[in-house]
Amino acid sequence: MNINSTVALEAQSLSGHAQVGWLDTNNTWVEAPASTALLGKELYLTLPSRKGNRYPRQRNYHGLYFFSQTKRHVWFESNTEASRLASLDMTQKIRAIASQPMLITFADGVVHFPDFIALHSDHRQILYDVKPSDRVTPEVITQFARTKAVCDLVGWGYEVLTELEPVERTNLEWLAQFKHDGFYPEQSALDRLLDALTAPMTVQDAASALGMDSLAHARSALFHLLWGGTLTVDTSVRLTSSSLIEKGTL
């Protein structure tokens, strides 16, 4: 059973009653009980409810990730969080996303700061917690289950994300270098490729099909199209010139 299934099973026996606090766009702290009313509070636009401290020999890397879909920077507190932000950026349609968006105070006084909340293009609001799999203890599972119970009461989705597989992370880091809109090809080049792409093509052949002034520019454009979802490729295996490209769904 995977982590999310375990969390969902444990959450079924838990109460979702809690107090939720957040820092709104006016930098004002707001609190409200967990209820469906929170769906209209736009917590995906909040300021971070907290930021972790920095100290010598710190193991976690803090920073800002440029989320290409929203054109905004998103705070992260670990490399795992950064890679998961990139994964969401590439694989999901997201209209807004906030980091450390709220403080949940459960009925017994225990507190939890979830990592992210996102508004997806289909209007779902999903709360995310990110944790390396080797740090998911029974106590952490219980914390996540309590958070899911709150989400179920409010109407938020809830997902626990662990680290990406090394190959997928490497592919993602490579493709992320081409997420800037400046790599987008001219419409005529894109039309040539899409017309030719009646069956899967290799990266090399797809780049050639763009018919651009240089193969280097064409490959950059191709990687940008993969990042944006116009095209798709299997990122679970090493990306090479012989990887097969197909039309995407995003």
Whole-number pLDDT of residue 58: 59
Burial class of residue 132 in the structure, from the number of CB atoms within 10 Å of its CB (0-12 exposed, 13-18 middle, 19+ buried): exposed
Q: In sequence order, what are the residues at sequence separation of 6 or more whose Cβ sits closer than 8 angstroms to the Cβ of residue 23?
A: 29, 30, 46, 47, 48, 49
Closest to 228 in 3D by CA, of 191, 179, 186, 189: 179
186 sits in which H/E element? none
For the chain, give every domain's residue range. Answer: 3-51+58-161, 166-247
Whole-number pLDDT of residue 139: 96
Structure tokens at 211: 């018919």
pTM, entire model: 0.92
Q: Specify which residues 20 forms β-bridges with.
A: 32, 104
Whole-number pLDDT of residue 189: 97
Q: In sequence order, what are the residues at sequence separation of 6 or more whose Cβ sits closer than 8 angstroms to the Cβ of residue 37?
A: none
Closest to 124 in 3D by CA, of 88, 146, 96: 96
Whole-number pLDDT of residue 111: 97
Whole-number pLDDT of residue 249: 76
Structure tokens at 240: 């090479």
Whole-number pLDDT of residue 56: 60
Encode the chain (250 residues) as per-residue pLDDT tens digits.
799 999 999 999 999 999 999 999 999 999 999 999 999 999 999 999 997 666 566 566 889 999 999 999 999 999 999 999 999 999 999 999 999 999 999 999 999 999 999 999 999 999 999 999 999 999 999 999 999 999 999 999 999 999 999 999 999 999 999 999 999 999 999 999 999 999 999 999 999 999 999 999 999 999 999 999 999 999 999 999 999 999 997 6
Any idea what the Cα angle at residue 74 is, between residues 71 and 80, rounded to 5°? 125
Whole-number pLDDT of residue 53: 65
Say which CATH architecture domain 166-247 belongs to.
Orthogonal Bundle (1.10)
Q: Helix/strand/coil (H, E, C) string of 200-238? A: CEEHHHHHHHCCCCCHHHHHHHHHHHHHHCCEECCCCCC
Query: Which fold would CATH assign to domain 3-51+58-161?
Result: Trna Endonuclease; Chain: A, domain 1 (3.40.1350)
Whole-number pLDDT of residue 80: 96
Is beta strand 201-202 parallel, antiparallel or unpaired with respect to 94-99?
unpaired
Q: What is the largest CA-CA distance in the chain?
A: 65
Q: In sequence order, what are the residues at sequence separation of 6 or more whose Cβ sits closer than 8 angstroms to the Cβ of residue 172?
A: 83, 86, 87, 90, 164, 235
